[in-house]
Amino acid sequence: MLEPLDLKEIDQLIEMAIREDIGGGDVTTDVLVPEWQTARGEVMAKETGVVAGLPVASRVYQQINKKVSFSPNVEEGARVLPGRVLAEVSGPARGILAGERVALNFIQRLSGIATLTALFVEKIKDYHAKIYDTRKTVPGWRSLEKYAVRVGGGLNHRMGLYDQVLIKDNHLMALEAGKALAKGVRLAREKAPQWMLIEVEVKTPEELEEAIAAKPDIILLDNMTVEEIAKAAKSIRQTHPLHPPMVEVSGGVTLENVEAIARTGVDRISVGALTHSAKALDISLKM
């Protein structure tokens, strides 16, 4: 079951978006449309995709004018074809028009992320590996964008720097040379909360050997070829046959190579493109 979106958490973002777009008022609508005018509109998909963000759009209209009714015709995560009516909007015409772009911006962006995520998930559906996102999100949009990843069938990596240890090369530069990775894992075990996963990033065979010896919870293979990934995953599991660390892959993952990566038997494939390169889904509002 999809974890629900905490709408209260994003109220500030919605308020900012409304203020950014409407400012002191919708001049065009105010001079052309009578205050008493009511209207009805349809939110329609213009291309195939996975829908996300309908609850956010509804929240937008509630903040602009509580008399505007936003009624979804499909569920979050629905796969739709061009021409499908996603929701109906009715009520004061001024409110509908004023909220049009803000509501569509949320739906289009989040549906684009859900759609791209679903394509990656579909590619590896027959394998053990799962698709994860990254922290490469638009500032302020992280909870929303990671929600859209879940709508598309993906999983969330850490939400921020506060909920998981991930030791990268830049962290190790702060430690003395030689066995820095092992020291990093040891310090994390001693000082981080016991419930936190400890993950280490490796780029070379030498770093992999050190990471295997350090026994973190997850070993992240960064920017390796498929052949290197397969060899590394085999080495990790041969060294720790009973309780091997989880194996994650990141860097250079595309729709073209993700199945080959999953075929190596890794556990997690993290894809920054889910959030930093997703194309907005084409959706319109027709009055």
Share of the chain above pLDDT 90, in %: 88
Stretch 147-172: mean pLDDT: 93
Range from 128-132, 172-176, 215-219 carrying the lowest mean pLDDT: 172-176
Predicted TM-score (pTM) of the model is 0.95
Residue 28 has pLDDT above 70, yes or no: yes
Kindly indicate the confidence band of residue 6, based on its pLDDT and cuts at 50, 70 and 90. confident
Stretch 182-197: mean pLDDT: 91
Q: Which residue has the higher pLDDT, 177 or 257?
A: 257
Share of the chain above pLDDT 70, in %: 98
Q: What is the pLDDT of residues 45-62, one digit of tens each?
A: 999 999 999 999 999 999
Kindly indicate the confidence band of residue 177, based on its pLDDT and cuts at 50, 70 and 90. low
- Give the type of residue at 103: A
**What SS3 string covers 122-159?**
HHCCCCCCEEECCCCCCCCCHHHHHHHHHHCCCECCCC
Residue 2 has pLDDT above 90, yes or no: no
- Residue 120, Cβ density class (10 Å: 0-12 exposed, 13-18 middle, ≥19 buried): buried
Q: Find, among 251, 252, 244, 172, the residue nearest to 215 by Cα.
A: 244
Q: Which domains does the chain have, with CATH numbers?
A: 7-121+279-286 (3.90.1170.20), 123-276 (3.20.20.70)
Residue 5 has pLDDT above 90, yes or no: no
Ramachandran region of residue 90, left (φ > 0), alpha (ψ -120 to 50) or beta? beta
Q: What is the pLDDT of residues 253-269, one digit of tens each?
A: 999 999 999 999 999 99
Let me know if 101 is a catalytic residue.
yes
Q: What is the pLDDT of residues 98-150, one digit of tens each?
A: 999 999 999 999 999 999 999 999 999 999 999 999 999 999 999 999 999 99
Q: What is the pLDDT of residues 31-43, one digit of tens each?
A: 999 999 999 999 9
Let me know if 146 is a catalytic residue.
no
pLDDT at 110: 98
pLDDT at 183: 86
Let me know if 19 is a catalytic residue.
no
How large is the angle between the packed helices 93-123 and 11-22, nearest 10 degrees? 130
Let me know if 136 is a catalytic residue.
yes
Instruction: Note whether 119 and 56 are within 8 A (CB).
Output: no
Residue 180 has pLDDT above 90, yes or no: no
- CA torsion sign for 115, 118, 120, 123 is negative
**Residue 20 CA, distance from chain mean position:** 24
CA 164, 169, 174 angle in degrees (round to 5)? 90
pLDDT at 242: 86
Let me know if 179 is a catalytic residue.
no
* Catalytic residue of the set 130, 135, 136, 203: 136
* Catalytic residue of the set 130, 135, 142, 168: 168
* Catalytic residue of the set 21, 88, 101, 142: 101
pLDDT at 241: 86
* Catalytic residue of the set 26, 76, 133, 201: 201
pLDDT at 179: 66
